């Protein structure tokens, strides 16, 4: 019996291997236009892809990246609907050294049918300061590494790449025919008939005085209260990963001309929802001297000015918090009474790169059937937390993702059920405590604790 099972399993495995849908000749890229924006610390790329299907019933398009890259991908079809993107389960088997992502298309493509896709790709930490150490007052040069070609598991017929740099000061750039540099734009291509997984290293060495503001760790906590509040607390572990400061920091030179050292971080601006109130901030080393909340037409700008500017390689840890009115974020489904919570994933700091991103959502005590809907893959774990007036503890959803940038602004939805009586649990606990005290007084007044026996008339 066992042998039959093993043989059957073997046949299934062989069958799966033969019918593997991820072979590389399901598409051919007819034209790829790639524009790379290197004006910040991130490499923001917009790709428009026209691909022709080579098979029938084609529902899956793939893109690849070198597996050392930290990458975020968003895909849209020609009607601007967002498509699901996830790391292919057999990415390792497709090509060694590459991470291959699956894009789930909305409809099936017939043979010779043409697909047009728009991809938004963010490469994080592909730009490295070079030299790695600069003196105060020197400008920052960075070295950018990428591929001249669109990395694809399919053959690409024609393609062109346009790179927009932060400045026109280019020390050097890898030349490949045809390529051209005009002020701050480098154009690579058009190239024709590039085979799948062709890599030709692109290296651009140029001046970029953008902030290399990296959150090595970000912890965001949402605490839901059905008594009308959504409490938000965020812990930031900020690091300036630009060129490190060589030699001493001179406050005098800095104060005389703050603009001379453009890559330092002198302030941190975060967009906070307009309905936020009761702000606070604390930090571990007493570095932050000023924080201000500026009311703008569509948001509150939360600005922190550290006492010392963050020079290259310097760090700062702090946490902030505020309260939001629950009605803007929590909805109730009139059909089945379930609750839907919509919150953003990260912080509203422009062009921030988060290495280790954690979001905790603390739901009210007694929440059941908890489901999390996220537009990108997350690692989900659960824990229990006991705070004020809790008995069994509140369910906590912990979401972890590594290497995020644009995901910061995206919404996650949490659905749960909660009995409508359970919000009276907390006031009843307080009432019960006072009632117990009253019972104790009744009990006490019935005892005679006097030393002398009182006379009974």
Partner 1 sequence: MALTPYYSPVDPTFYPLFAFLFSAVGLAFLAVFIMSELTSKRGGKNIFSELTMALVASCTLGLGGFFVLLSAGIYV
The footprint of partner 1 (CB under 8 A) covers 223, 225-229, 231, 278, 323, 325-328, 330-335, 339-340, 387-390, 423, 426-428, 430-435, 437-439, 441-442, 445-446, 448
Which CB, 278 or 380, lies closer to partner 1?
A: 278
Strand order in the sheet with 300-306: 268-272, 300-306, 288-295
Check: CB of residue 184 under 8 Å from CB of residue 39: no
Residue 370's closest CA among 379, 357, 361?
A: 361
Q: To the nearest whole angstrom, how small is the minimum distance from the Cβ of residue 227 to partner 1?
A: 5
9 bridge partner residues: none
Q: To the nearest whole angstrom, how small is the minimum distance from the Cβ of residue 414 to partner 1?
A: 13
Q: To the nearest whole angstrom, how small is the minimum distance from the Cβ of residue 454 to partner 1?
A: 9
Q: To the nearest whole angstrom, how small is the minimum distance from the Cβ of residue 456 to partner 1?
A: 9
Residues in the chain: 457
Q: To the nearest whole angstrom, how small is the minimum distance from the Cβ of residue 270 to partner 1?
A: 21
Which CB, 27 or 339, lies closer to partner 1?
A: 339
Buried b (16+ CB within 10 A) or exposed e, 293-321: eeeeeeebebebebeebbbbbbebbbbbb
Give the C-alpha separation, 336 to 383, whole Å: 26
Q: To the nearest whole angstrom, how small is the minimum distance from the Cβ of residue 224 to partner 1?
A: 9
Which CB, 10 or 280, lies closer to partner 1?
A: 280
Radius of gyration of the chain (CA): 29
Nearby residues of 2 by Cβ (< 8 Å), 6 or more positions away:
none
Check whether the bond before 299 is cis (ω within 30° of 0): no
Which CB, 120 or 226, lies closer to partner 1?
A: 226
Check: CB of residue 173 under 8 Å from CB of residue 187: no
Q: To the nearest whole angstrom, how small is the minimum distance from the Cβ of residue 426 to partner 1?
A: 4
User: Please, what is the end-to-end C-alpha distance for the chain in angstroms?
Assistant: 95
- What is residue 6's three-state secondary structure? helix
Which CB, 392 or 441, lies closer to partner 1?
A: 441
Which CB, 7 or 433, lies closer to partner 1?
A: 433
Residue 62's closest CA among 14, 26, 31?
A: 26
Give the C-alpha separation, 300 to 344, whole Å: 15
Which CB, 96 or 448, lies closer to partner 1?
A: 448
Which CB, 73 or 272, lies closer to partner 1?
A: 272
Which CB, 197 or 322, lies closer to partner 1?
A: 322
Q: To the nearest whole angstrom, how small is the minimum distance from the Cβ of residue 102 to partner 1?
A: 29
Give the C-alpha separation, 436 to 444, whole Å: 12
Q: To the nearest whole angstrom, how small is the minimum distance from the Cβ of residue 367 to partner 1?
A: 13
Check: CB of residue 262 under 8 Å from CB of residue 209: yes
Give the C-alpha separation, 152 to 64, whole Å: 5
Give the C-alpha separation, 177 to 188, whole Å: 8
Cα 195 to Cα 23, 97, 101, 148, 278: the distances in Å are: 14, 17, 18, 13, 58
Q: To the nearest whole angstrom, how small is the minimum distance from the Cβ of residue 276 to partner 1?
A: 13
Which CB, 289 or 327, lies closer to partner 1?
A: 327
Torsion, Cα of 381, 384, 385, 388 (10° steps) = 140
352 bridge partner residues: none
């Amino acid at each position: 019996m066992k042998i039959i099972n093993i043989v059957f399993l073997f046949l299934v495995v062989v069958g799966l291997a033969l019918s593997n849908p991820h072979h590389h000749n399901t598409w051919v890229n007819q034209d790829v236009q790639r524009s790379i924006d290197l004006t910040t610390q991130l490499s923001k790329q917009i790709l428009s892809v026209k691909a022709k299907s080579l098979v029938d019933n084609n529902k899956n398009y793939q893109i690849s990246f070198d597996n050392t890259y930290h990458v975020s991908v968003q895909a849209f079809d020609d009607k601007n609907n967002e498509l699901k993107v996830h790391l292919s389960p057999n990415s390792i088997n497709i090509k060694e050294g590459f991470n291959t992502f699956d894009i789930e298309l909305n409809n099936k493509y017939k043979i010779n049918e043409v697909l047009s896709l728009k991809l938004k790709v963010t490469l994080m930490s592909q730009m490295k300061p070079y030299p790695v150490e600069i003196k105060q007052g020197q400008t920052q040069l960075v070295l950018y590494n990428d591929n001249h070609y669109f990395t694809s598991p399919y053959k690409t017929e024609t393609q062109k790449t346009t790179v927009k740099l932060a400045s026109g000061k280019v020390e050097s750039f890898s030349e490949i025919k045809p390529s051209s540099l005009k002020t701050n734009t480098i154009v690579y291509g058009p190239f024709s008939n590039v085979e799948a997984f062709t890599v030709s290293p692109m290296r651009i060495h140029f001046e970029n005085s953008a902030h290399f503001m990296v959150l090595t760790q970000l912890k965001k906590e949402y605490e839901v209260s059905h008594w009308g509040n959504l409490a938000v607390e965020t812990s930031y572990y900020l690091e300036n990963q630009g060129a490190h400061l060589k030699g001493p920091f001179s406050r005098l030179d800095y104060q005389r001309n703050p603009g001379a050292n453009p890559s330092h971080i002198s302030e941190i601006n975060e967009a906070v929802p307009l309905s936020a109130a009761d702000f606070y901030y604390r930090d571990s080393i007493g570095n932050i001297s000023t924080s201000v909340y500026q009311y703008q037409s569509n948001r509150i700008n939360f600005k922190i000015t550290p006492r010392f500017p963050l020079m290259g390689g310097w760090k700062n840890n702090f946490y902030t918090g505020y309260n939001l009115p629950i009605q803007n974020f929590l909805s109730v489904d009139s059909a089945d009474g379930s609750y839907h919570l919509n919150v953003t994933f990260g912080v509203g700091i422009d062009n921030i790169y988060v290495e280790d991103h954690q979001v905790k959502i603390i739901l009210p005590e007694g929440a059941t059937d908890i489901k999390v809907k996220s537009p990108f893959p997350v690692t989900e774990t659960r824990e229990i937390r006991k705070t004020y007036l809790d008995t069994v503890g509140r369910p906590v959803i912990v979401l972890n993702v590594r290497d995020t940038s644009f995901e910061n602004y995206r919404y996650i939805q949490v659905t749960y059920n909660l009995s409508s009586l359970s919000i009276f649990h907390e006031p009843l606990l307080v009432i019960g405590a006072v009632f117990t005290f009253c019972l104790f007084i009744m009990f006490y007044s019935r005892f005679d604790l006097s030393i002398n026996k009182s006379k009974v008339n």
